């Protein structure tokens, strides 16, 4: 039987506030366990939550960025469940009145086509702590540093039909929230993690099948692999005449499989009721307009502008606007060099390759954008050749200074003296009579290819510093001159 896969996502996004959503405890990642939790986070008796205004602002920024409904009145609820790292026995969340309502999110698929999915809601809530199992033989440790970290949970409609589509959405969402500056989106540190709700149904049916939820997947690659594994598992069960059990599962990357964690809870199981210690959040039109005016240029707008303003292709503009810091770096380089196309080529070529090779981000790039712009200027004014430029770039990467300093220190200026170059041409022609004869015996279509040998010899003799354009201008007439 042909079946259709239906996927919905719940993305938990840690907001980049300096303190927690209901207390003044810091949110710095990686601190010693239980050093960033105060009496509110520990749920000590009599402690009352105080809402972090910045978390509200970040949530509204997200809603405005996707043209979603903004709840002018939103309210918090208690989501009741027991877990060792949730000392209150309930999580303060939003249920009936979320701060961000329905919206739509459009993004590009790898083949360049566009896809749009519905956003059901995005609500504020507090994160739980962490259970620690390493170094606790037969026991479990509890770290409450993460307890109370502000989350924005973004819930989509079940609009995805493939793992590829889900991953493309997550990448576009990651780009958006980092542009907005509302989250660092660091998936390795759990700042952005995803629950995958997946079901299968007959291809000609509109009725949803029984779904399973794969919890807390924290990399794009694992999301795609988890979806593939779960689809195969469900297909096998249905092919054997079995039925799918609604449950929560985990993805084990080491075994590349999903495993059951617990039966799936539904809203009634959580016994939601209004949080009595927090007043509703009320926003007026002026508040929303002020936040909207503060939004930065968003990825899709910047992608379009890079094509219009700099003449970049859709692909180049996509690569350069995927991350805000890369886009900023490109614009600074283009301004310093006055050549956006060459700047785009160098960033997508040498720079990103070097960053990838050393597993570095653009934030830690040792070559400042202005210095890369300076290098491009020296290529444009023919002070150095493209080949020598790669040597200069490597020296800049290793901290030897800007392009001009390196060119002077290493004596790398391009040889553009016509007399000196003519002498090199004569010498190479004289040293290679067989190749000269072969060139002159060839038809015109092959001569261009054969001339590359002589250019290579001249570049070798000049240690790469001969002006390639002038070499060609001198070489071809020399080769053709005695042709009879």
Q: Provide the β-strand partners of residue 9.
A: 196
Phi/psi region, residue 112 (left: phi>0; alpha: psi -120 to 50; beta: rest), is: left
pLDDT digits (tens, 9 = 90+) for 463-479: 888 888 888 889 998 88
The phi, psi pair for 100, rounded to 5°, reads -120, 125
Q: Which of 55-59, 170-174, 223-227, 461-465 has the lowest mean pLDDT?
A: 461-465
pLDDT digits (tens, 9 = 90+) for 223-237: 999 999 999 999 999
| Alpha carbon distance 385, 72 (integer Å) | 60
451: how many CB neighbours lie within 10 A of its CB?
18
According to CATH, the topology of domain 418-480 is: Arc Repressor Mutant, subunit A (1.10.10)
| Alpha carbon distance 410, 388 (integer Å) | 11
Chain centre distance of CA 305: 19
Whole-prediction pTM value? 0.84
What's the pLDDT at 264?
Answer: 62
What is the pLDDT confidence band of residue 247, given thresholds at 50, 70 and 90?
Answer: very high
Sketch the domain layout of the chain as residue ranges. 3-287, 297-410, 418-480
pLDDT digits (tens, 9 = 90+) for 255-274: 999 999 877 666 677 889 99
Q: State the chain's mean pLDDT as an integer.
A: 93
| Alpha carbon distance 22, 406 (integer Å) | 53
| Alpha carbon distance 96, 119 (integer Å) | 16
pLDDT digits (tens, 9 = 90+) for 83-92: 889 999 999 9
Q: Which of 83-87, 125-129, 314-318 has the lowest mean pLDDT?
A: 83-87
What is the pLDDT confidence band of residue 417, given thresholds at 50, 70 and 90?
Answer: confident
Q: Which whole number is the average pLDDT over 129-153?
A: 91
> CA-CA distances (angstroms) from residue 28 to 18, 36, 125, 189, 239?
7, 8, 18, 11, 48
CB of 378 closer than 8 Å to CB of 388 = no
Chain centre distance of CA 253: 21
């Amino acid at each position: 039987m042909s079946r259709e896969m239906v996927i919905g996502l719940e993305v938990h996004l840690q907001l980049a506030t300096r303190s927690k959503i209901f207390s003044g405890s810091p949110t710095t990642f990686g601190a010693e366990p239980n050093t960033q939790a105060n009496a509110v986070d520990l749920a000590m008796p009599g402690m009352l939550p105080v809402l972090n205004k910045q978390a509200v602002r970040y949530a509204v920024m997200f809603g405005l960025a996707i043209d979603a409904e903004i709840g002018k009145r939103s309210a918090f609820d208690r989501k009741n469940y027991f877990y060792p790292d949730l000392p209150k026995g309930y999580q303060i969340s939003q249920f009936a009145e979320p701060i961000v309502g329905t919206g739509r999110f459009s993004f590009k698929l790898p083949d360049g086509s566009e896809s749009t999915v519905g956003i059901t809601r995005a609500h504020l809530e507090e994160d739980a702590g962490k259970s620690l199992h390493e170094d606790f033989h037969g026991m479990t440790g509890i770290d409450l540093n993460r307890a109370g970290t502000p989350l924005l949970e973004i819930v989509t409609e079940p609009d995805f039909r493939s793992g590829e589509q889900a991953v493309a959405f997550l990448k576009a969402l990651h780009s958006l929230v980092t542009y907005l500056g509302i989250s660092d989106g660091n998936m390795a540190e759990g700042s952005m993690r995803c629950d995958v709700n997946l079901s299968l149904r007959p291809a000609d049916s509109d009725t949803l099948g029984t779904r399973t939820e794969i919890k807390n997947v924290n990399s794009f690659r694992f999301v795609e692999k988890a979806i593939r594994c779960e689809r195969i598992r469900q297909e096998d069960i249905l092919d054997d005449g079995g039925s799918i059990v609604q449950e929560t599962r985990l993805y084990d990357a080491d075994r590349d499989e999903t495993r059951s964690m617990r039966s799936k809870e539904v809203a009634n199981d959580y016994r939601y009721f209004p949080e009595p210690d927090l007043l509703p959040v009320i926003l007026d039109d002026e508040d929303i307009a002020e936040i909207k005016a503060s939004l930065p240029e968003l990825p899709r707008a910047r992608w379009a502008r890079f094509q219009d303003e700099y003449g970049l292709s859709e692909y180049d503009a996509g690569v350069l606007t995927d991350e805000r810091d890369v886009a900023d770096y490109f614009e600074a380089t283009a301004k310093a060099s006055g050549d956006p196309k060459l700047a785009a080529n160098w960033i997508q070529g040498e720079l990103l390759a070097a960053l990838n090779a050393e597993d570095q981000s653009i934030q830690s790039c040792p070559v400042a954008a202005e210095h890369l712009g300076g290098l491009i200027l020296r290529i444009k004014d023919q002070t150095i050749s493209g080949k020598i430029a790669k040597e200069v770039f490597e020296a800049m990467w290793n901290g030897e200074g800007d392009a001009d300093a390196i060119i002077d220190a290493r004596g790398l200026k391009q040889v553009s003296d016509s007399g000196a170059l003519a002498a090199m041409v004569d010498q190479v022609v004289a040293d290679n009579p067989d190749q000269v004869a072969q060139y002159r015996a060839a038809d015109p279509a092959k001569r261009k290819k054969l001339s590359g040998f002589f250019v290579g010899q001249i570049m070798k003799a000049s240690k790469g510093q001969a002006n390639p354009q002038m070499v060609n201008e001198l070489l071809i007439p020399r080769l053709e001159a005695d042709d009879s």
